[in-house]
A and B are shown apart, each in its own frame.
Chain A
Amino acid sequence: QKEVEQNSGPLSVPEGAIASLNCTYSDRGSQSFFWYRQYSGKSPELIMFIYSNGDKEDGRFTAQLNKASQYVSLLIRDSQPSDSATYLCAVYNNNDMRFGAGTRLTVKP
């Protein structure tokens, strides 16, 4: 079974703090990794994708990938109340996209 695991949370951080979201995956052959944000009742919105080991930064968001540890994370700097949502980790390998259950993030003003 190809698994993608996330801490369901809820994760609560104060406004302006760094939020750290983690994801592990079991399929060592996985090639592409994605983070989606989903507000309640809305569809998933792509935040970032990452393919290579290391860090990838886009504005306040940094994705980190460690294929040896089968671990991918998302850091959100200067968290805002508008970042409060469920964050879905998705892992792709040869025509098969698997989603984690999502981590619910709450940013408190």
Chain B
Amino acid sequence: DTEVTQTPKHLVMGMTNKKSLKCEQHMGHRAMYWYKQKAKKPPELMFVYSYEKLSINESVPSRFSPECPNSSLLNLHLHALQPEDSALYLCASSQDRTSGAGGADTQYFGPGTRLTVL
């Protein structure tokens, strides 16, 4: 089973709203990732959690706040977003973050949340 789930599938929010995106995996993976993807562009890494600790924050604005409550869950809290933040937000997980043979660093993506900021 290589399933990563994300909720909601679609989200429309105003610039003053607070909302959260959720991601869950039950593959025993210890690394989880948030990506942002604009149309016709590749995914851009936002955050990486490794063993439930934030290990990478790619200079993401503070209006995006990640949270990893446990090894299976990853949240992305949204507050005071801008229209240019509208995008597909992708969650991914991997067994761990060690490179090399064996596929441990293979990332599996969830279906994404399509976010529209009005």
State in angstroms the CA–CA spacing of A97 and B90 once bound together. Answer: 14
- Cα–Cα distance between A43 and B33 once the two chains are bound (Å): 14
Q: Is B109 in the interface zone, CB < 8 Å from A?
A: yes
| Residues of chain A lying within 8 A (CB to CB) of residue B61 | none
The answer to the question of A69 belonging to the interface, with a C-beta cut-off of 8 Å to chain B, is no
B100–A31 touching, CB < 8 Å: yes
Q: Is the CB of A31 within 8 A of B99?
A: yes
Q: How far is the CA of A34 from the CA of B56 in the complex (A)?
A: 21
A47-58 near B? 1/0 per residue, CB < 8 Å: 001011000000
Q: B56: shortest Cβ distance to chain A, in Å?
A: 7
For window 79-109 of chain A, which residues contact chain B by CB distance below 8 Å?
Answer: 88, 90, 92-95, 97, 99-102
Name the residue in B109, B112, B114 with the highest tally of chain A Cβ atoms < 10 Å from its Cβ.
B109
The CA-CA distance from A49 to B114 in the complex, in Å, is 27
- Is residue B75 within 8 Å, beta carbon to beta carbon, of the partner chain? no
Interface residues of A (CB under 8 A from B): 31-32, 34, 36, 41-46, 49, 51-52, 88, 90, 92-95, 97, 99-102
